Amino acid sequence: MRATIVGIYVGSKGEAPLHAERQGVLVAGKGLVGDRYYDGVGSFSKPAIPPDAELTLIEIEEIERFNAELREPFPIGAFRRSVVTQGIRLNDLVGKRFSVGGAVLEGKRLCEPCSHLAKLTTQSIVSKMAHRAGLRAQIISGGAIAVGDSIEA
């Protein structure tokens, strides 16, 4: 199976619901155009965005696994990650460069679930998604991305 983008999600401000987009633009040092962190209004925005907060990614396979365990599954946007992938193990990309659509990223660290995410979803997300909640990445070279684009490790 080819590794691809299956979703792109943005939010207008911290804690606002995320909505799906078909395409987006990644800007080095800023993030995903139109997202709360790009605009500096995310829940964890600081005066200068740290490299590991420019973009977050999560595997659709992990979202589906988590939701299969719940009686009331959460929509994809509830997981609060900007890019949803399929067919690639994101944990393996920590410390590595990879391409996503027209951009080049570097995996910085795992994007572990936190108490803020638990407050917006369910407390069980912290334990059930530990080491499975995605990847924090720095944008090395910006570019356009779209649902269906390849991810190349």
- Residue by residue, pLDDT tens for the chain (153 residues) are 799 999 999 988 777 789 999 999 999 999 999 998 888 766 555 656 677 779 999 999 998 988 888 877 888 887 888 999 999 999 999 999 999 999 999 999 998 776 666 666 666 776 777 788 899 999 999 999 999 999 998
Give the span between the Cα atoms of 62 and 81, in whole angstroms: 12
- The DSSP secondary structure of 100-111, one letter per residue, reads ETTEEEEEEEE-
pLDDT of residue 5: 98
**Bridge partners for 115 per DSSP:** none
| Secondary structure of residue 71 in the 3-state scheme | coil
* Torsion angles phi and psi, residue 70, rounded to 5: -100, 155
Of 106, 100, 86, residue with least CA distance to 143 = 100
Q: Do the beta carbons of residue 150 and residue 3 sit within 8 Å?
A: yes
Total residues belonging to the chain: 153
Counting the structural domains of the chain, the total is 1
Q: Do the beta carbons of residue 80 and residue 104 sit within 8 Å?
A: no
* Domain range for 40: 4-152
CATH number where 77 lies: 2.40.33.20
Give the span between the Cα atoms of 25 and 38, in whole angstroms: 11
Give the span between the Cα atoms of 144 and 75, in whole angstroms: 25
